[in-house]
Structure 1
Amino acid sequence: MADPTSRISEPQDQYSRMNPFPETTILGPALQQELVQTIQDFYRVSDDPAANDTWLGYFTRNAKAIMAGAGAQATDDIRRFRTNMWKDVKARSHWASSAYVGEVAEGRVQLMLEGVVTRVAPDDQEKVLSWAGRAVWEKHDGAWKMSFYQVWLSEKTGLEWVPAEA
């Protein structure tokens, strides 16, 4: 069976323009481009409610996923978790704006990501939320998969400038 996470990009969509990394990082150009592509594809699939199996392909079998305080571990539990995530959501669209590189080892990269997500409720009410996430990506059979993924959400969508005290 082909890896469900292998290059699924659709040229010219919003995800194809997403590159949360600064111009250069400690990753080097080849690894950085691999991760950019993986992140683009992951959020494209994440925003498709019908892509459950493909979305699960971005996680290792024993991965742990925590989002907005709820969590799941291992494939079957994460599958139920994903189904529940879509219960009160009609549509959503992620944008990763920044990436911070943490630990880098052979076949393993830890990243912090931040961005915004637009969610549309079944009653067509739209809400924009800021999010931050920690992802531990590991290379398995040539594909990057997460062994850990945690996301925090906030209704604060912009940074507020606070002046220094005089």
Structure 2
Amino acid sequence: MTIYPEGFTDPKVEAFLTKFYQISDTPTANAEYVDQFTDDATLIMGLKTAIGDKNIRTLRESMWGAIVGRHHVLTQVFPFQTVEQASELGQYALTGTVEFTLKNEKKVSVSWGAKMDLLRGKEGEQPKIKFYQVYVDSTPVVQALTS
């Protein structure tokens, strides 16, 4: 269960984050994953940076090279402003864990943190990510792949 700050009630953001990590955990959902971002979004995953939908798709596809499965758990969401202040662009710090299932059948769980800038979209539109940077130590995954 994800923890939100007391008084934070934004069902649109909560639903988006739930769906985003479900899509992220689906290896064949490349187009759907890219659709969660604006056309000119920036995605930073560790040392890799992708700007724009084509580069985000390429980075997304490369993340599945040695991985056959993954499961994100979003632990906590920290908004940088109130729901009212975030009427167009919401900024969030996120924490969680992700369990990877590797091609060699080993499982590795690591903690991660992220910063996400989320364009809320107009009435009836889904939010879209403008900026997303993930902080994660990939050392345990590398060690599991080489041992």
TM-score clears 0.5: yes
Return structure 1 stretches of 4+ with deviation > 2 angstroms.
103-106
Which whole-Å CA distance do the structure 2 matches of 1:86 and 1:146 have between them? 21
Q: Larger RCO: Structure 1 or Structure 2 (Cα < 8 Å, ≥ 6 residues apart)?
A: 2
Q: How many residues align?
A: 134
Q: Offset at 1:21?
A: 1.1
User: Are the structure 2 counterparts of residues 155 and 71 from structure 1 closer, same or farther at C-alpha, using a change threshold of 3 Å?
Assistant: closer
* 1:150 aligned partner, one-letter code: Q
Quick check: 1:127 aligned with 2:124?
Answer: no
Which whole-Å CA distance do the structure 1 matches of 2:3 and 2:116 have between them? 14
The answer on whether the counterparts of 1:20 and 1:36 sit within 8 Å (CA) in structure 2 is no
Q: Offset at 1:20?
A: 3.3
Cα deviation code 1:51-96 (max 9, x no counterpart): 0111111100000000122110000011100000111111000001
1:88 counterpart residue number: 66
Quick check: 1:20 aligned with 2:19?
Answer: no
Identity %: 26
Cα deviation code 1:3-40 (max 9, x no counterpart): xxxxxxxxxxxxxxx43313423xxx2xx211111000
Q: Offset at 1:106?
A: 2.4
User: Are the structure 2 counterparts of residues 20 and 154 from structure 1 closer, same or farther at C-alpha, using a change threshold of 3 Å?
Assistant: farther
Q: List aligned pairs for 1:71-110, cutoff 5 A.
A: 71-103=49-81, 104-110=85-91
2:135 counterpart residue number: 152
Superposition RMSD in Å = 1.6
1:15 counterpart residue number: none
TM-score relative to the length of structure 2 = 0.85
Quick check: 1:46 aligned with 2:46?
Answer: no
